[in-house]
């Protein structure tokens, strides 16, 4: 499994599309948070905090992560290596887990350069250091959890098709629905007392809860359960004995 994990990382980092995806993410993040004026600009808030970064980044990850996962299963099928992997001491669960861990590593690598935002705000604050480090760390933890859920969703979409384009579009749509769909639906006050529970099913609700700096176990468990279900679905799709 470790060998497959390393292979996935190496294949993405040495590819043109891999370098482009990571570069575009860093570029877009830098432009929106430091150059372009507007609600996402960290300099125009007047407060040394990173809320705008943590509210904006999920929408970028919604496209970045499907670009990472879209090749995971279709490329293996096209090359005929998926069946070859099954003949080694690797079952479907370990294959999906290795690809999932590689995806998380790539997301973490993409987020790493954005830590400069916290460093700059720390020094630009008045007084210097007037930045809630706990809230910033909680926000990054929330992004890792959210990114992991997006990776699992992308793998689930990738496992259902032989086309990388279909896998990408399916993953973007699924991430959008799971992230914002229930939250938006519950905000219309159409279901009375059920509106709260509908919003509770949204990734956005749990991500924002973690981002407040107060990490509630229920939010972490929600992400763990979602990831487990998505990975189980992906595993089921690539098993050679599935009916």
pLDDT averaged over 10-residue windows placed end to end, the chain, 243 residues: 86 84 90 85 76 91 94 85 72 90 93 90 75 85 95 96 94 96 82 83 91 76 96 91 59
Instruction: Evaluate whether residue 35 is within a structural domain.
Output: yes
- The reply to whether 212 falls in a domain is yes
Q: Answer whether residue 65 is part of any domain.
A: yes
Per-residue confidence (pLDDT) for residue 188, from 0 to 100: 76
Q: So what's the pLDDT on residue 66?
A: 95
For 16, counting Cβ atoms within 10 Å of its Cβ (0-12 exposed, 13-18 middle, 19+ buried), the class is exposed
Overall domain count for the chain:
1
Place of tokens 């924002």: 208
| 58 within domain boundaries | yes
pTM, two decimal places: 0.92
Q: What is the pLDDT of residue 236?
A: 92
Residue 243 lies in a domain: no
The verdict on residue 157 lying in a domain is yes
Whole-number pLDDT of residue 88: 66
Residue 144: which domain range? Answer: 2-238
DSSP-assigned states of every residue in 87-155: HTT--HHHHHHHHHHHHHHHHHHHHGGGHHHHHHHHHHSSSTT-S-HHHHHHHHHHHHHHHHHHHHHHH
């Amino acid at each position: 499994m470790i060998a497959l994990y390393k292979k996935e990382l190496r294949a993405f980092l040495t590819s043109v599309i891999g370098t482009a995806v990571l570069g575009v993410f860093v570029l877009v993040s830098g432009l929106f948070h430091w150059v372009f004026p507007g609600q996402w600009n960290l300099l125009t808030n007047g407060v040394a905090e990173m809320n705008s970064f943590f509210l904006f980044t999920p929408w970028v990850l919604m496209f970045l992560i499907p670009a990472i996962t879209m090749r995971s299963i279709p490329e293996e099928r096209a090359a005929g290596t998926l069946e070859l992997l099954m003949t080694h001491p690797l079952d479907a669960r370990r294959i999906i887990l290795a690809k999932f861990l590689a995806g998380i590593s790539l997301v973490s690598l993409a987020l790493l350069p954005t830590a400069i935002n916290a460093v700059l705000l720390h020094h630009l604050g008045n007084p210097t250091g007037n930045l809630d480090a706990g809230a910033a760390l909680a926000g990054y933890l929330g992004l890792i959890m959210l990114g992991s859920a997006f990776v699992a969703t992308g793998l689930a979409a990738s496992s259902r098709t032989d086309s990388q384009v279909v896998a990408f579009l399916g993953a973007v749509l699924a991430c959008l629905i799971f992230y914002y769909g229930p939250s938006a639906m519950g905000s219309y006050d159409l279901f009375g007392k059920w509106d709260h529970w509908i919003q509770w099913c949204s990734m956005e609700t749990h991500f924002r809860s973690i981002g407040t700096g107060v990490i509630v176990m229920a939010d972490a468990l929600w992400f763990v359960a979602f990831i487990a279900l998505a990975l189980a679905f992906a595993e089921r799709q690539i098993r050679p004995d599935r009916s």
